[in-house]
Structure 1
Amino acid sequence: MAAADKLTRWFDLIAALLRRRNGGTFEEFRYDVPAYITAAVNEASIMRTFERDKDELRAFGVAIETLPDGDGGESRYRLRPDEFYLPLLALCESRIVSALEVRTIARPKGIGFQTLPVLAITPDECLTLRRAAGRVRALGNPTLDADAAGAIRKLEQDVGLLPIGEPIVAAVKVHASTFEVLGAALSARQRVTFSYASMGRNQQSMRTVEPYGLVFLTGHWYLVAHDPTQQALRQFRVSRISKPKYNAQKKQPDYVIPATFDLEAHAASRQSWELGDEEAVSVVVAFRGESGQVQQGMQLGEETSTPSERCFRVRRRDPFLRWLLTFGGDASIVSPAEWHGSWRTLLHDTLSAHRAAQSLANAAEVA
């Protein structure tokens, strides 16, 4: 049988499987696949062809399930759309995409699109994709140049033009050797020691940690690692790491990453004020009103005994206070007391800056 005939038969079988959400038997599928109902071949031969087609498609990664019949009848076969189709690509404006934003992404009309998983591309990731393609094209290899340009062109065909602007915080250059050492230590599951510049304490100190992964957030690379001394996960900005080293000669791993740890979920759950290696401070915030912004803000904190208040674990004070400013008076700090003072000072300075800008604008209009 010609290869084209086999390919056509495979396509017909896949289409038949996808049309039946609850699966079907061979007898049901054979009428959807013209090659299975030919009169020139006996029943046993057609059944062997069907079994061979299933095995070959599975070898190519097509996840055809076999569902045994509870009454001892003929088995049913199923192909879930979400295990066959690639995810739906979408551009998002948020730096970190929430589950709510994913659910509100518009999907094309048609059968199957509503059940597809969504792969949301953030502004930081758009910038990374463009930079990566640019670096590949800069190598001067015509084949790689065409491949990189084609990859970006195909992606933009699916999701639209990728933004070309910088992220909110511009990426800081990191030495390639730092990435190499951290990546090698992570792959070998070896503890890594490095000098770290802590901005909060304004000091340089030596750290020994167990790397769990590297993530790109808010325009910066972070090393997510377990600190054996503190018995807690920490995030270290890679641009502040220097002189990293690990025992490359050691064959046995120093640690095991817990099976329950999900790097993607961990990164997606981090807000800008949660990043860093500083000690986390519990900050209680009182919210007012029932606007959508207030509701979303409250979801990021932990519930307290007061319904309108939430507790946040904050490592970086300034980003957290600036975030509270966006609520326009519908959020205020309750505790700790020293943070309440910083909050009032920021409100005063911001209001003064706006008044000064308004005065200059009024003076310009009069002139």
Structure 2
Amino acid sequence: MNKTDRHLAILLELQRSKVVKAEDLASLFETSVRTIYRDIQALSEMGIPVFGAPGQGYSLMEGYFLPPIGFSAEEAVALLMGADFIEQRLDGDYASVAKAVKSKIEAVLPETVREESIRVRETMRLLSAGEPRTGLHEKERLRLVRRAILERRKISFSYKKKTPEADGNRESVREVEPYGLAFVQGNWTLIGHCGLRQDIRHFRLSRMAELVALDTPFAMPDGFNLNHYRPQDDRNEHIWLRANPEIADKIAESGQFYIESAEEREDGLWVQLRVRTPEEVLSLILSWGGDVEVMEPESLRSRVREEAEKMFKRY
């Protein structure tokens, strides 16, 4: 990043944040603190009202705003495609806002840039596995959960797990402190503290029912940051598959985070998976049909055999 671009980026960061430390700016733009001091001095000499408070950081004079900024065709495409994603995947409140944003962006673009951005967007399309858009029922759950997060209110819902618990039940009622939402492999997932399990758990919105926001408030844990949060990896069971090498691309393109490794040997493609329970990948293995054989564990081999026998009887 050259000096001019960095000056503009610093100004945008100051406008976005109330107070920013020189050390944080240096880390953000991968430069030295001394360089940031010089950049701030240069902005002040340009007439930009930047104020510094010892031990606190820099800020812009209240009420100061940058004049409208022009967009390149690439920048316009990034914004418009981002709005497309929001329209497809978020609830109705943001879907209508996304449409309005697209109209405003397109209205202020110079004709040449607008035509170029249209041409580029016509060559790309947002697609994902499963449903092309978030379903209406899931969007309504998303809207309710999103508001509960912002209002710091607990939520209650009936939840159906993919695999049964130890007692054989798949469905249970949960009361959760909602911390945040993540869009994972085409599905919206809630991250929050579960009162039933007394720990942070993840819940797919598509598996919720009877969702209600409660009047019970909660406080976000000190130091919790959704962007920095990493769930504990408790996938301790290993599965070995032997696959037909001809479906190596199909396996790789499945994008399954269960897959640890794939190695081509003389007797086929050996694929290692790491899971919490083998049941998690049963449907995945069955989807590959006769091109895959479970080698370990024996319990999963038996489970696949049982499902295959059921299928054979049906046909």
TM-score, normalised with respect to structure 1: 0.43
Q: Which of structures 1 and 2 has the bigger CA Rg?
A: 1
- Of Structure 1 and Structure 2, the greater strand share is in 2
TM-score, normalised with respect to structure 2: 0.49
